[in-house]
A and B are shown apart, each in its own frame.
Chain A
């Protein structure tokens, strides 16, 4: 056994807090250590070459690098040693940067800790066994969850690269939040004009299988081979016969009596509906919660929709379908919800009818919205308008300390649009800090100020009503004095929170969440579209609040990672999995109960358990529990861990 040990200075990152010559001195001469060297940057080319050369010249069969976290550079050095012909699983890393030099303040203590950690790594390395990775074939198709702008972009990019793509959307139409917007900041492009062509592209794309009004029910498998079950909810309309003419919606007995989710409850629809006129696919859907026939079994003498539909597309007997698909990669683009300001009682949302949210006002602006684009709030045109920023953002009291990134700009856009539609309106924005960080944003903010929109720094304290008139009380923190403004419209600059669907999708895929509850990327700087689950990528606001250009950029990034994977015929699977010694196994099935992946299988003939290598993820839960000790957890064997314990104490 010849172990080569390399201690990295990481510039001054490690060397400033750890006495590296002292570590080298302590390690040289330890059992099995053939050589111990130090170098400024082990991850650099000269550093890696030093290791390769020593393997070749000295015949090292184990290598330990003491440097940063193995989560950072273990793959780098595994490749290095493999280059020189050593088995990559005989490589071990000691984390003396993130878990030593960066967190301790006493050089002597940090040095002792580094010595202990390297000794422990040497002991472990001496017991490591060469492992062979297995090859797994890749299914050349992808699943995109969520049909907002991020999901649409990702699906189009993957499909354009020639791969079959399934796009699943829970609502009857794709389009997501962007479809609800009137104009986009700062260019004032009409959202529908730039979005709907993309929606049509999705529907027409030969490589995209669009599954709307559908939900992901179950996912198993792993990178390259995910098995997904999708529930297609019944629309009660035959998609092959519906022409999207809309006569059914006109005829529905409940027409104009049900709150439209798409119009944020301001507009009304019938029991059979399309969420908005440009919906894709343009198929009508019957809402079973409200439809008289589906809910009560009776709709007058006969259902009017069925009577009027010439092609005979209405199908009250349609049942939900379950579709099984196999994909090699998954993009999660579940988007966001608007923060519900009900908990901010001081702003009176839900209590005063002229207090509304940003997304609600967006529907008022929309030419296809409930007021046809006219700025009519509850029957009148508002003259005194107050915007309140940071509602549900940067607010520790309600548990949302993060900035939602889009509110400052959508407030500026909405203020501009209101001023355009109502030139004599008094518009005041009560803001915390102005965050106009994007391309053209600061310029737009300046333009809006010049149009006569008043910006007053300091957030609003309270909205109250007196003699049917609303008043907003605030403090101007620049003048240092409190003030009050009358208002016939108060718009809350509501922030972004993760979509509630993130819960179930996150659990199905075992994704981590950051403190703000959005999905956690694999690395905050360098792997912003990856997740820690191989083969699963993030796009759009599912990962954190984002505006449209950022969502689109991230979606294209996620799609390129998917394509990188799908172009491969085969991928290499980690051999760090459990193995069973069938001679020792007594067939007690303890492991079968513990394993969440059904990797251990009971062999009725041999009366022992075997492990399905394809599905074992290598957690080692079974190995820890096996009463007969017949399960060996590769790379984390009992003796390997115990050897580390003995060295660190």
Chain B
């Protein structure tokens, strides 16, 4: 019998909105699945494509990027850069055989603890039903 699939999700959250929103989910004790491992950056636009691809190559089943809502970016328009980058990268992922759904970008404000918690639950569900990342399988076969 195979072990129950527990997706590994890497989250890159901007310090000012989404990370604070995740903190807000915590202070409000809004429960969500424990799959995500959060890495804090100052702005979502700090995350380049190499980092996301590195996460998939290393065996992540999904990557979550969280930034501020448009107009709320702490750095004026960093989130617009993020949006552009992620949109392009999603298309690239398809070419690599990775389903686009495995990369998710969401705007979560510092006040939206509930949204963060719900998004985590929903994203974990999506990835659980998608199954392990194809890259992870290739990697495991190689080993």
Residues of A within 8 A of B (CB): 69-72, 95, 97-100, 102-106, 109-110, 112-113, 116-117, 120, 507, 510, 512-515, 520, 532-533, 576, 594, 596-597, 617-621, 623-625, 633, 636, 638, 641-642, 644-646, 648-649
Residues in B with CB closer than 8 Å to A597 are 75-76
- A645 pairs with B77, CB closer than 8 A: no
Residues in A with CB closer than 8 Å to B25 are 98, 103
The 9 closest A-B pairs by CB, nearest first: A98-B26, A620-B46, A648-B37, A596-B76, A619-B43, A619-B75, A621-B45, A624-B48, A102-B26
| Interchain pairs with CB closer than 8 A, number | 150
CB distance from B84 to the nearest CB of A (A): 10
- A113 pairs with B34, CB closer than 8 A: yes
- B75 pairs with A641, CB closer than 8 A: no
Residue of B nearest to A116 (CB): B37
- B27 pairs with A620, CB closer than 8 A: no
A selection of 11 A-B contacts at a CB cut-off of 8 Å is A69-B26, A103-B25, A103-B29, A507-B71, A513-B109, A514-B109, A617-B75, A624-B46, A638-B48, A641-B47, A648-B39
Residues in A with CB closer than 8 Å to B41 are 620, 636, 641
Question: 1/0 per position for B42-67, CB-CB distance to A under 8 A?
Answer: 11011110110011001110000000
- A649 pairs with B72, CB closer than 8 A: no
Query: Quick one: which of B82-110 are within 8 Å of A by CB?
Result: 85, 109-110
**A649/B74 contact (C-beta < 8 A), A97-B26, A98-B23 known:** no
Chain A CB within 10 A, most for which of B8, B30, B41: B41
Cβ of B20 < 8 Å from any Cβ of A?
yes
Residue of B nearest to A533 (CB): B74
Residues in A with CB closer than 8 Å to B74 are 510, 512, 532-533, 617, 619
Cβ of B38 < 8 Å from any Cβ of A?
yes
- B111 pairs with A520, CB closer than 8 A: yes
- B81 pairs with A594, CB closer than 8 A: yes
- B58 pairs with A105, CB closer than 8 A: no
CB distance from B45 to the nearest CB of A (A): 4
Residues in A with CB closer than 8 Å to B73 are 510
CB distance from B93 to the nearest CB of A (A): 16
Q: How far is the CA of A98 from the CA of B116 in the complex (A)?
A: 12
**A644/B39 contact (C-beta < 8 A), A103-B25, A512-B72, A649-B8 known:** yes
Residues in B with CB closer than 8 Å to A625 are 48, 81
- A619 pairs with B46, CB closer than 8 A: yes
Residues in B with CB closer than 8 Å to A71 are 15, 19-20, 23
Residues in A with CB closer than 8 Å to B23 are 69, 71-72, 95, 98-99
Contact among B8, B22, B46, B75 with A510 in the assembled complex (CB-CB below 8 Å): B75
15 extra A-B contacts, CB within 8 A, seeds A97-B26, A636-B46: A71-B20, A95-B40, A99-B38, A102-B26, A103-B26, A120-B37, A507-B71, A514-B111, A520-B111, A596-B75, A619-B75, A624-B47, A625-B48, A645-B54, A649-B37
Residues in A with CB closer than 8 Å to B45 are 594, 619-621, 624
Q: How far is the CA of A110 from the CA of B8 in the complex (A)?
A: 14
Residues in B with CB closer than 8 Å to A515 are 109, 111-112
Cβ of B16 < 8 Å from any Cβ of A?
yes
Cβ of B68 < 8 Å from any Cβ of A?
yes
Residue of A nearest to B59 (CB): A649
Residues in A with CB closer than 8 Å to B72 are 512-513
CB distance from B32 to the nearest CB of A (A): 6
Q: How far is the CA of A514 from the CA of B51 in the complex (A)?
A: 31
